[in-house]
Structure 1
Amino acid sequence: MPEKVLFKSEAKQSQSEIASYLRTVAQNLEDGKQITLKSGSDSVTMEPPANPTFEVKAEREGPTDGPGELSIELEIEWDEDAADGESGSLEIE
């Protein structure tokens, strides 16, 4: 299935700035509100369903014998025309 990027923003941010963005997303999810992403003149508004799929990945990219790039990826996804996703268990400490 082809992918179309609706919005993208990438910039170095402080840990507290990132935490603030995540708190806003978390609060909107908890309240059942839509989520609007904005950067300059670009923006997109999305309405996650009550039970979207939540994917968490920890990755290391680069050579196996040297330093690489580490990442934590958090993804919330759902089918535009489908009912709520399946539930699963996840713990983040």
Structure 2
Amino acid sequence: MPEEVLFETEDRRSRAEIASYLRTLADKLDADGPITLTAGDQSVTVDPPERPTFEVKAEREGPGDGPGELSVEFEIEWDEGEGGDSGDGELSIE
């Protein structure tokens, strides 16, 4: 199935600003309701199920012989209309 981007934003932010966004997202997830993302004229509302799949990935992109771009990605995913799945193991962030 082809990917359809419903919302996307990218901007440089301070670590404190990013932490604030992630805390707000965590609060919304705890509240068990829908989550609305808004930036400029873009807006989308999603309603994650009780047990979505949570993926954490750290990667390096770029040429093999020099410095690249490092990233940490957090992804919450689920099939539309389904309740989610259990994961592979316990995640720990230190």
Structure 2-normalised TM-score? Answer: 0.93
Look up the SS of the partner of 1:27 in the other structure: helix
Structure 2: which 5+ runs fail to align?
Answer: none
1:53-77 Cα distance to aligned partner (Å, 9 max, x none)? 0000001001122110000000000
Q: Is the 8 A contact 2:56 2:73 kept in 1?
A: yes
Q: Residues of 2 paired with 1:45 and 1:83: CA distance? A: 17
| Partner in structure 2 of residue 77 of structure 1 | 77
Matches within 5 A, 1:40-59: 40-59=40-59
Matches within 5 A, 1:16-55: 16-55=16-55
4+ runs of 1 displaced by more than 2 Å? Answer: none
Structure 1-normalised TM-score? Answer: 0.94
Instruction: Calculate the aligned-residue CA RMSD, in Å.
Output: 1.0
Q: Percent identity?
A: 61
Structure 1: which 5+ runs fail to align?
Answer: none
| Partner in structure 2 of residue 89 of structure 1 | 90
Aligned residues, how many? 93
**What amino acid does structure 1 have at the position aligned with 2:40?**
G
